[in-house]
Chain A
């Protein structure tokens, strides 16, 4: 019983890696198409990044430097846990710096810093099927993709406009890849959608529980669905980051007290820290606040 826990490099056995690698190559060759794969049980629960972890494990080598973020941050518990997992099973170099990473596994965000050619962004995906909430049956949605029958999605978005005056989808906002497949970008805020378009980095998506892998190669068209009279727009924030003063980054609202006080800070912690290290200061940064006192 004591010799029980011996695991392969990067945890997965080689046969599983081969199966995932074959799926990844197909996914790259058919951008935005969801390739079914025989997802394995992983030592973390389904829904907690098992798809992303399997993709990363199949891709990762000893020369890689891995960054893991959740909600844009390197220090959220699940990001810490996944990073520690790969340190343990693959003894891989890790970093929090976007620019230093060769592989970035993410949940819910795309880093603010422009990704570079050669970098790989691995998304954790809960529900890979963009049509799932319109049609719960896989047998039906698969037909819709095959026939390029995306009218239902446009109807849904248009109903929003009719009811609210604008599209009321704020995250997991559907995109069309290379003019063919409608794809779920994972639950990133729509703020991040434009970063997917013509990105120099390779984007891989893993959905473990739903057993799908898909991909967007570098320099590939990724267009958010919209209408001529209601063009796609991203979220804007009325104030800059309270720590680094960044304008035009995605901000988290942090509640400061129980009287409605709050502040907005960058969700991308590496981006924010990098700016602060370069001397940028927001209204509530530690030394700015002290200086004000």
Chain B
């Protein structure tokens, strides 16, 4: 006698209950608060905001808590919420030259207007586990610089004065930047859509691709022209007002990669750009993005497309971790109908194989 398995609903209910229990963990340990995540896990929050494409630290913290610290799951939660939000309009392009800078470094010039600022970086920390952090040792307040804010032009603007680097490019009059969340992607892409895709792309995937360009797969001789991290104003133009409305400030990381270019029939030898811009503080992502951006400009710059990192359809189709994780993990779903079909086929083919073998053996015996 056989009774078919039932009770999917009960199973799901129980699984969710168990998940909630495991998420909470030992009840004797104080539950983590969202402000603790925002303040003390801020780089995780930044990554969730960047790849979730939604600048809201508190929601990102909630997503991280709900996802038990699984950042791709948290990114997915944020995306699924973001997609339901109404769209009021598009802000003006961020003026990163006007950034309230906390960190700014250039690898191309020893000193430059605005100076170099190390800021809150892991660079030059010795990666030794610090047992004191396990305790609640008081933390000293950081030193504040005394001098007034100075204008800090972008390195690429400085290089641009004498044409050493290509122009930044302007959208044609009246052009509206694309939005891959509203329009299905059609390859080949324009750079605006490509940058949008890269900005929300998976940090690990882009990091690996960026690394591959350094190891000779589409090498572009990159220099970090500049990385800057800080707060920029977000402005919206409103039809009724003759000045843009400031909505607030957001923290972003911008990376301008300066790459060698030997020139082409149309262009003189000059440096070219790779660009990265990411919500929050994420140098690794911004740098990876700018290396990938530069590699993906191969078609535009008339370079041979020889490496994966230059292959736009490949890179952009596989850079979104919400898509990737969904499809990889969907293999967990039942596939027994198609498996049955394959099972049946393999059985048939094995039977045929066996028959052929026996036939072959008989023929051989007969011949002997």
Residue A147 is within 8 A (CB to CB) of chain B in the complex: no
CB < 8 Å A-B pair total: 152
Q: Is the CB of B8 within 8 A of A75?
A: yes
Contacts A45-B76, A47-B327 given; does A189 touch B183 at CB 8 Å: no
Q: Is the CB of B58 within 8 A of A75?
A: no
CB proximity of B81 to chain A, nearest CB, Å: 8
12 of the cross-chain contacts (CB-CB < 8 Å) are A1-B62, A4-B81, A12-B84, A41-B82, A48-B330, A138-B313, A139-B188, A168-B349, A191-B341, A235-B344, A253-B336, A289-B1
Bound CA span A43–B7, Å? 23
Per-position 1/0 for A261-287, Cβ under 8 A of B:
001010101000000000000001010
Q: Is the CB of B338 within 8 A of A108?
A: yes
Bound CA span A48–B333, Å? 8
Q: Is the CB of A188 within 8 A of B58?
A: no
Query: Which residue of the partner chain, among A41, A235, A242, contacts B80 with CB atoms under 8 Å?
Result: A41
Q: Is the CB of A254 within 8 A of B334?
A: no
Residue B187 is within 8 A (CB to CB) of chain A in the complex: yes
Contacts A41-B79, A289-B1, A290-B1 given; does A252 touch B330 at CB 8 Å: no
Contacts A76-B334, A290-B1 given; does A46 touch B83 at CB 8 Å: no
Q: Is the CB of A139 within 8 A of B187?
A: yes
Residue B12 is within 8 A (CB to CB) of chain A in the complex: yes
Task: Give residues 76-117 of A contacting B (CB, 8 Å).
Answer: 76-81, 84, 107-109
Q: What residue in chain B is nearest A19 (Cβ atoms)?
A: B182
Q: Is the CB of B8 within 8 A of A76?
A: yes
Q: Is the CB of A47 within 8 A of B329?
A: yes
Residue A182 is within 8 A (CB to CB) of chain B in the complex: no
A: which residues have CB within 8 A of B? 1, 4, 7-8, 11-13, 16, 36-43, 45-48, 50, 70-72, 75-81, 84, 107-109, 126, 137-139, 164-165, 168, 170-172, 187-191, 209, 211, 235, 242-243, 250-254, 256, 263, 265, 267, 269, 284, 286, 289-290
New A-B contacts (13) at CB < 8 Å, excluding given A75-B6, A78-B334, A126-B327 = A12-B84, A41-B76, A41-B83, A45-B322, A70-B333, A171-B337, A171-B341, A187-B335, A189-B340, A191-B341, A242-B2, A252-B340, A286-B3
Bound CA span A36–B62, Å? 33
Contacts A40-B83, A41-B76, A46-B327 given; does A252 touch B336 at CB 8 Å: yes
Bound CA span A44–B187, Å? 27
Q: Is the CB of B7 within 8 A of A75?
A: yes
Measured between beta carbons, the chain A residues less than 8 angstroms from B338 are 108, 170-172, 187, 189
Task: Give residues 62-93 of B contacting A (CB, 8 Å).
Answer: 62, 76, 79-84, 86
Measured between beta carbons, the chain A residues less than 8 angstroms from B186 are 36
Q: What residue in chain B is nearest A48 (Cβ atoms)?
A: B330
Q: What residue in chain A is nearest B15 (Cβ atoms)?
A: A77
Query: Which residue of the partner chain, among B86, B185, B340, B352, contacts A251 with CB atoms under 8 Å?
Result: B340
Q: Is the CB of B352 within 8 A of A165?
A: yes
Bound CA span A256–B355, Å? 29
Q: Is the CB of A164 within 8 A of B76?
A: no
Q: Is the CB of B326 within 8 A of A209?
A: yes
Measured between beta carbons, the chain B residues less than 8 angstroms from A72 are 337
Measured between beta carbons, the chain A residues less than 8 angstroms from B6 are 75
Q: Is the CB of B323 within 8 A of A137?
A: no
